Amino acid sequence: MDLKNKVTIITGAARGIGFACAERFIADGAKVVLADINEKGGENAAEQLSGSGEPPIFVECDVGERLDVHNLVAETVDAHGRVDVLVNNAAQLDSAAFLELEEEQFDAVLKTNLKGPFLVGQAVARQMVAQVENGGTPGVIINMSSVNAVFALPDHLAYTVAKGGLSQLTKAMALALAPNGIRVNAIGPGSIMTEMLEKVATDEDVSNRILSRTPIGRFGEPSEVAAIAAFLASEESSYITGTTIYADGGRLALNYTVDVRSKD
C-alpha cells in the first residue's frame, strides 16, 4: 500500500499486532509514532524498527490518561506537523471468572480498551478536523476490535464488554466525522499468534480447542492484521467507513466445530 509520508500514531506498539502494524506502515513509507505505556518496550521497538524507512518516534503514553494523550498528539504534531492516521491498538486482557472478577480489574480493562480509544480518537480527530479546515487531506482512524465484540467469553468479561463498546464507538465516530471526510473503521482479529497467545497455545488441548473453531485451520499472524490496517489507511479503501473487517479464519461464520488437522 502507498502510505508514503502518512504521519501515523500507533498505540500499544511495543509488541504484538501494534508492532507488526508499525513495521508494515514504515515499510510502506509512513512516518510512524509509537505509543505505549511500556517505556522500555517502546524504546526497544523503536530501535528495532529504525533500520528501514524513516526511524519511528516513541512516546510513552497511558491511553486512558487525558494528559498523556494530549502530549502524544502534541509531540506528533511538533515532530511532523500533522496526523494522518491513527491505529488505536492499545489493550489489556482480564482473566477471571465472572463471580470472581474484581471491580478494579474491570475498571482497568475498560480504561485502556474503551476509554483509551475514545480519548485518543477524540484528540486525534480534533487535530484532523483542524487540518481539513485549513485545506488538508482528511485522515483515517482504525480501532483494533476483536471477534469478542460479537461473541462472549465469560472468563474475559471486561475485555468482551470493552470490545463490544468499541464496535459501537467505531460506528458513532464514523458518522460524526464523515462530514469532515475522516474515515473510521475497525479490525476484529480472531486468534492471532502474538506473545499472549503463544503462552497458552503451547498446551495442545488449548490449541486444539481454538483450532476446532477456526475453519481455515491455523492461527493468524500479526502481519496479516497489519496488512488490513495498511489497506484501511490507504486510498484503496476510500469508500469504507463505519465498519469492522474480521480477520478470524472463518470463526464468526461457524456455528459448529471442525476437525483439527493433524500436524503429522
Residues listed for the chain: 264
Q: Which residue, 155, 164, 144, is CA-closest to 94? A: 155
pLDDT at 149 over 70: yes
Q: Say if strands 140-144 and 31-36 run parallel, antiparallel, or are unpaired.
A: unpaired
CA 93, CA 190: separation in Å to the nearest integer?
14
Q: Say if strands 57-60 and 140-144 run parallel, antiparallel, or are unpaired.
A: unpaired
Give the per-residue pLDDT at 198: 83
Give the per-residue pLDDT at 196: 75
Identify residue 92 by its one-letter amino acid code. Q
pLDDT tier for residue 65 given thresholds of 50, 70 and 90: very high
Q: Please identify every residue annotated as catalytic.
A: 159
pLDDT tier for residue 264 given thresholds of 50, 70 and 90: low
Residue 25: CB atoms within 10 A of its CB come to: 27
**Cβ-contact 127, 83 below 8 angstroms:** yes
| Angle at 146 (CA atoms; ends 34, 111), nearest 5 degrees | 60
CA 153, CA 134: separation in Å to the nearest integer?
45
Q: What percent of the chain has pLDDT over 90?
A: 86
pLDDT at 180 over 70: yes
Helix (H) / strand (E) element for 183: namely strand 183-189
Q: What percent of the chain has pLDDT over 70?
A: 98
CA 160, CA 183: separation in Å to the nearest integer?
25
If phi over 0 gives left and psi between -120 and 50 gives alpha, with beta otherwise, what is residue 50? alpha
Residues forming a β-bridge with 32 = 8
**Cβ-contact 201, 207 below 8 angstroms:** yes
| Rounded average pLDDT over 106-126 | 98
| Rounded average pLDDT over 138-160 | 95
Residue 129 cell numbers, joined: 478536523
Q: Give SS3 for 17.
A: helix
Give the per-residue pLDDT at 203: 82
**What's the chain's average pLDDT?**
95
pLDDT at 106 over 80: yes
Give the per-residue pLDDT at 263: 65
Residue 13 cell numbers, joined: 506498539
Contacts of 69 (CB under 8 A, 6+ apart): 61, 63, 119, 120, 123
pLDDT at 52 over 80: no
CA 189, CA 214: separation in Å to the nearest integer?
12
CA 72, CA 130: separation in Å to the nearest integer?
17
Give the per-residue pLDDT at 201: 77
